[in-house]
């Protein structure tokens, strides 16, 4: 009896370990002294960026496209999961605050970071773009998610590079659900972006989930 119980416990532990290992953390920036400088190396291209008290902060409220970028290989076929937390503390336009993240980016700077995707938020809407040929192309826009100064948002995006399925979550709620029939298959960078908005980013994390054949 005890041998069977022990075997069952071992099996459950192995199953739990497998489940926990399913998503592989490939990048983490907490913007503290504990970050590994060989892996966490954000480069500013536009805006007034600084790391303060465990936050990546942009103070620039005049630029319509600030950019701070991290090199990150995103070339495997599978599911990439991007998560970040942000809050706003100033905007200079009535349709602000506006901030978001480029991922699967082919360039570190430029208006659209080359070929990329962009998860974006303005005062009233959540917007998801595919960026090609230096243009922002809507894949989906969702109204009815207002945001204001001092609000905080937890954002999570899941991209399946094989099927083109993209899901976006705000504070745990599914808000973006779209399929890109010709998805970007790889990228070299992720890039934070704000528009006329001072924003604090608490962390950025990226996981990779292999797809079983």
Task: Count how many domains the chain has.
Answer: 1
Is residue 78 situated within a structural domain?
yes
**Ordered per-residue pLDDT tens for the chain, 213 residues:** 544 444 444 444 444 444 444 899 999 999 999 999 999 999 999 999 999 999 999 999 999 999 999 999 999 999 999 999 999 999 999 999 999 999 999 999 999 999 999 999 999 999 999 999 999 999 999 998 999 999 999 999 999 999 999 999 999 999 999 999 999 999 999 999 999 999 999 999 999 999 986
Q: Quick one: pLDDT at residue 83?
A: 98
Is residue 184 situated within a structural domain?
yes
Q: Quick one: pLDDT at residue 7?
A: 47
* Domain extent for 181: 24-210
Is residue 3 situated within a structural domain?
no
Mapped to the 3 state alphabet, what secondary structure does 43-88 carry?
EEEECCEEEECCEEEECCCCCCCCEEEEEEEECCCEEEEEEEEEEE
β-strand pairing of 99-105 with 197-210: unpaired
Q: Quick one: pLDDT at residue 212?
A: 80
Is residue 19 situated within a structural domain?
no
Q: Quick one: pLDDT at residue 130?
A: 98
CATH at residue 137: 2.60.120.560
Is residue 125 situated within a structural domain?
yes
Residue 119, Cα to own-chain centre: how many angstroms?
Answer: 7
Q: To which H or E segment does residue 203 belong?
A: strand 197-210
Is residue 67 situated within a structural domain?
yes
Is residue 108 situated within a structural domain?
yes
| Closest of 96, 156, 100, 95 to residue 129, by C-alpha | 100
Global pTM reads 0.89
Is residue 17 situated within a structural domain?
no
């Amino acid at each position: 009896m005890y041998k069977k119980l022990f075997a069952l416990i071992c099996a459950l532990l192995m199953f739990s370990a497998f489940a926990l290992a399913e998503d592989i953390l490939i990048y983490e920036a907490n913007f503290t002294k504990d970050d590994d400088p060989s892996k966490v190396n954000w480069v500013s291209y536009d805006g007034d960026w600084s790391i303060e008290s465990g936050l990546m902060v942009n103070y620039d409220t005049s630029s319509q496209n600030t950019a701070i970028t991290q090199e990150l290989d995103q070339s495997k076929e599978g599911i990439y999961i991007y998560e970040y937390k942000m809050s706003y503390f100033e905007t200079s336009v009535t349709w602000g605050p506006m901030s978001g993240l480029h991922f699967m980016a082919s360039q570190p700077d430029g208006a659209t970071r080359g070929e990329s995707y962009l998860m974006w938020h303005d005062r009233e809407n959540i917007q998801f773009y595919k960026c090609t040929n230096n243009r922002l192309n809507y894949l989906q826009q969702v109204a009815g998610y207002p945001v204001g100064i001092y609000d905080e948002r937890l954002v999570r995006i899941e991209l399946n590079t094989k099927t083109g399925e993209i899901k976006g979550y705000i504070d745990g709620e599914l808000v973006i659900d779209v399929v890109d029939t010709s998805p970007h298959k790889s990228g070299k960078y992720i890039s934070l972006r704000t528009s006329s908005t001072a924003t604090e980013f608490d962390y950025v994390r990226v996981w990779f989930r292999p797809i079983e054949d």
